[in-house]
Amino acid sequence: MNAPLPAAALDRAARQREIVAALAPVVPAHALLWQAEDTVPYECDGLTAYRQQPLVVVLPETEGQVAAVLKACHALMVPVVARGAGTGLSGGALPHALGVTLSLAKFNKILKVDATSRTATVQCGVRNLAISEAAAPHGLYYAPDPSSQIACTIGGNVAENSGGVHCLKYGLTLHNVLRVRGFTVEGEAVEFGSLALDTPGLDLLPVVVGSEGMLAVTTEVTVKLVPKPQLARCIMASFDDIRKAGDAVAAVIAAGIIPAGLEMMDKPMTAAVEDFVHAGYDLDAEAILLCESDGTPEEVAEEIGRMLDVLAGAGATRMEVSKDEAQRLKFWSGRKNAFPATNDPDQLHRCELFGADILETSVRLGGTVTGEHGVGVEKLNSMCVQFTPGEREQMFALKAAFDPAGLLNPGKVIPTLQRCAEYGRMHVSKGLLPFPGLERF
C-alpha cells in the first residue's frame, strides 16, 4: 500500500489541479504540461546548480493565449516565470515551486526584415543568430552576439540586456532594440519604444530592457540591423603576465581605438579549451587577448596596424593576425566555448564565494555586479552590496507599478531588506567586514 502523502504535497497537488483547470480552456491540451516527467526539463536554466520543478508549464502559441494565461494566473494569484531558451546563467528562468513557467518557445517567427529602415520585427522566441541569418541576404546583421547566440532567444536577450564580443563597438541589446511589445501581469497588451527614434510620453524601453521578466512578458521585438562589415580580422596577442594583458586593454582604448571585439582568456581557460577547439592558442602565455577590427579593407588594415603597435608597446610577447575568415572564427571559438561547470558541492560553494568577491571588487572599482548575465537568483546577495536600502526600495516601487502583487518572476533580482540584513551580518570577505562605510542594519 502507498504511504499517505504529506499535507504540503496534497496542497501542491490541489493547487496544481486548480491551475490546470483554469488554463485548460485557454490553451490547447498539448500546450499544457503538469506531469512530473513533462515539467522536469524546465527545472533549471544554464545555472544548473539551482533546480525547482514548476507546478505547471504552459507553451502558448498566440498572443491571445499569452494574454489569457496571464489573466487566469492573475485571477488565481499564481506566480509566472517567463522562459526563452533557458540558457541564462543566473537562474532568471528558475521556476517557482508554486508557479507557472510560461515558455515562449513557440513564438519563433521572423515577422519582417525591412532592409530600407534596417530593422527586423520578430517574435520573442526567435533565436539571436536566426535574426542575422534572416538579414544576411540584405547584407545586414543583428550586432549583439552573446556566445549562446545559436540557442538563446531575443526575448531572453531583452530581459537580460545581453551583450557579446561585439558590444564594445556596437552596444548592448538596449542600444540595438527599437520596440518591445508584450503583456502585463494582468494580460493587457503593452508597448515600449517605437519604430521611430523617440517615443511619445515617458520612454520606458530602457526600463523593460534588462528587467529579467519582472515587469512584463515580451512577445515581439523590433531590432536595429547594421551593415555587415566587408572584412573582419582578429589579433591574438600573448602576454606573460595577466596584469599586462589588462593594462593592454586600457592602452587600446586610451589610444582612441574601439575594437569590434576585445576579450581576454587566462592560462587555465586557454588550456581547457585548446584541446577541444585546436585554435592554436599560445599555451605558455599567462593571458591571451583577442582584439578584432572590422570595416572596409583599408580601415581594417589601418586599425590592425595601430592595434599591433599598442599591444607591442603594452608588452605582448607574441602576436598573430587572422589570415582569413576561417582562422578568425577559430580564434574566437575557444572564447565562445569557455563555459564553467562543476558538480562538486564544495567546489561550487567556494566558486560562489569567490564569484561574490569578484563582484564586490568590481563594485569597489566603480563597476557593477550585472555584467551581461543579469542578477536572477545568483547575484541577489551582491545586489545588497551595490545598492543602498533606499535604492532597492525604489526598485521595488517600480516593480509594484507594473506588478503590484509581485507575481512576475518573484524572488529574483531585487533582494529584500531582510535578505540583505542577513547577508550583511554573515558576510565577511578576506577576514574583513566589507564596505565598512556602508550603512548596516
Ligand X SMILES: Cc1cc2nc3c(=O)[nH]c(=O)nc-3n(C[C@H](O)[C@H](O)[C@H](O)COP(=O)(O)OP(=O)(O)OC[C@H]3O[C@@H](n4cnc5c(N)ncnc54)[C@H](O)[C@@H]3O)c2cc1C
What is the contact surface with ligand X in residues (CB under 6 A)?
45-46, 81-89, 92-93, 104, 124, 146-148, 152-153, 155-157, 159-160, 162-164, 212-213, 217-218, 339, 372-373, 409
User: Which DSSP helix (H) or strand (E) runs through 177?
Assistant: strand 177-183
> Which residues have a Cβ under 8 Å from the Cβ of 314 and sit 6 or more positions away?
239, 244, 247, 248, 251
Q: Nearest distance from residue 216's CB to ligand X, in Å?
A: 7
Residue 110 or 308: which CB sits closer to ligand X?
A: 110
Cα–Cα distance measured from residue 11 to residue 34, given in angstroms and rounded to the nearest whole number: 15
Residue type, 9: A
Residue 57 or 321: which CB sits closer to ligand X?
A: 57
Cα–Cα distance measured from residue 226 to residue 244, given in angstroms and rounded to the nearest whole number: 34
Q: Nearest distance from residue 327's CB to ligand X, in Å?
A: 21
Residue 155 or 334: which CB sits closer to ligand X?
A: 155
Residue 83 or 224: which CB sits closer to ligand X?
A: 83
Residue 88 or 434: which CB sits closer to ligand X?
A: 88
239: left (phi over 0), alpha (psi -120 to 50) or beta: beta
Cα–Cα distance measured from residue 82 to residue 118, given in angstroms and rounded to the nearest whole number: 29
Residue 276 or 339: which CB sits closer to ligand X?
A: 339
Q: Nearest distance from residue 363's CB to ligand X, in Å?
A: 19
CA-closest candidate to residue 212, choices 90, 126, 371: 90
Residue 49 or 231: which CB sits closer to ligand X?
A: 49
Cα–Cα distance measured from residue 327 to residue 279, given in angstroms and rounded to the nearest whole number: 8
Q: Nearest distance from residue 150's CB to ligand X, in Å?
A: 9
Residue 374 or 424: which CB sits closer to ligand X?
A: 374
End-to-end CA distance of the chain: 53
Q: Nearest distance from residue 128's CB to ligand X, in Å?
A: 8
Residue 384 or 408: which CB sits closer to ligand X?
A: 408
Q: Nearest distance from residue 127's CB to ligand X, in Å?
A: 8
Residue 190 or 314: which CB sits closer to ligand X?
A: 190
Residue type, 24: A
Assess contact for 215 and 207: CB atoms under 8 A.
Answer: yes
Coil/strand/helix, residue 208: helix
> Which residues have a Cβ under 8 Å from the Cβ of 156 and sit 6 or more positions away?
84, 85, 87, 88, 93, 162
CA-closest candidate to residue 219, choices 86, 73, 62: 62
Q: Give CA angle at 370 (364, 376), nearest 5°.
A: 130
Q: Nearest distance from residue 432's CB to ligand X, in Å?
A: 32
C-alpha cell at 85: 531558451
Q: Nearest distance from residue 179's CB to ligand X, in Å?
A: 14
The phi and psi torsions of 193 (rounded to 5 degrees) equal 70, -170
Distance of CA 23 to the CA centre of its chain: 29
Cα–Cα distance measured from residue 335 to residue 273, given in angstroms and rounded to the nearest whole number: 8
Q: Nearest distance from residue 70's CB to ligand X, in Å?
A: 11
Q: Kind of pairing, strands 226-227 and 140-141? A: antiparallel
Q: Nearest distance from residue 162's CB to ligand X, in Å?
A: 3
C-alpha cell at 237: 596577442
Assess contact for 257 and 307: CB atoms under 8 A.
Answer: yes
Q: Nearest distance from residue 424's CB to ligand X, in Å?
A: 26
Radius of gyration of the chain (CA): 23
Residue 372 or 422: which CB sits closer to ligand X?
A: 372
The phi and psi torsions of 64 (rounded to 5 degrees) equal -60, -40
C-alpha cell at 254: 586610451
Q: Nearest distance from residue 400's CB to ligand X, in Å?
A: 18
Residue 59 or 85: which CB sits closer to ligand X?
A: 85
